[in-house]
């Protein structure tokens, strides 16, 4: 039993290291400067600037850093805020939620549970059935269009 726990913890550490296995310069090369500052310095893109804000195609939104599927287009809605908005993630465990008191506000930060890159924030003013609004930066996401797959 303790052996099993040992292997599980080793596996987890290796997985985490693989995901964060890039230097700052490498990430900037992969993502570009704006996405780097959003994903790894918890920045926010300008509203209505993101390429997925008004995307209505059917597909799946992935983490731009580790390609984990995070949101379904069927749970995306037009919140009018200027950022892609979802009322739920694909699965509860695919995102990590943490209290964020920066910028003089009390908010809940949403990050990718797999690689911990910053995605956006979640607010309690979304539509039913969850009443949640996941307000996500376009640059934190990649989109896999159902038609082209």
- Provide, for the chain, the percentages of residues in helix, strand and coil under a 3-state DSSP scheme, each rounded to the nearest 5: 30, 25, 40
CB of 45 to Zn ion, least distance (A): 17
CB of 96 to Zn ion, least distance (A): 10
Token couple for 125: 């003013």
Token couple for 18: 């693989």
Nearer Cβ to Zn ion (66/144): 66
- Name the segment binding Zn ion (CB under 5 A); options: 24-32, 66-74, 86-94, 119-127: 66-74
The widest CA-to-CA distance across the chain, in whole angstroms, is 52
- Catalytic residue chosen out of the listed positions 39, 63, 65, 135: 135
- Name the segment binding Zn ion (CB under 5 A); options: 67-75, 86-94, 118-126, 134-142: 67-75
141 contacts Zn ion (rule: CB under 5 A):
no
79 contacts Zn ion (rule: CB under 5 A):
no
Contact predicate 99/90, CB 8 Å: no
> Which residues, numbered 12-41, are part of the site for Zn ion (CB under 5 A)?
none
Token couple for 70: 């995070």
| Residue 135 annotated in active site | yes
Distance CA 58, CA 105 (A): 34
For the chain, how far is it from start to end, CA to CA, in angstroms? 42
Residues belonging to the active site: 135
List residues binding Zn ion (CB under 5 A): 63, 65-66, 68, 112, 114-115, 117
């Amino acid at each position: 039993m303790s052996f099993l726990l040992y292997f599980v913890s080793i596996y987890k550490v290796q997985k985490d290291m693989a995901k964060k296995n890039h230097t700052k310069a490498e990430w900037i090369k992969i993502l570009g400067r704006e996405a780097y500052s959003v994903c790894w310095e918890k920045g926010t893109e300008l509203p209505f600037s993101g390429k997925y804000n008004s995307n209505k195609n059917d597909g799946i939104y992935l983490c731009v850093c580790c390609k984990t599927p995070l949101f379904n287009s069927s749970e995306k809605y037009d919140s009018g805020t200027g950022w892609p908005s979802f009322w739920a993630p694909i699965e509860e465990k695919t995102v990590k939620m943490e209290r964020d008191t920066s910028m003089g506000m009390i908010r809940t930060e949403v990050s990718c549970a797999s690689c911990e890159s910053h995605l956006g924030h979640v607010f309690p003013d979304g539509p039913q059935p969850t009443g949640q609004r996941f307000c996500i930066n376009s640059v934190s996401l990649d989109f896999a269009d159902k038609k082209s797959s």
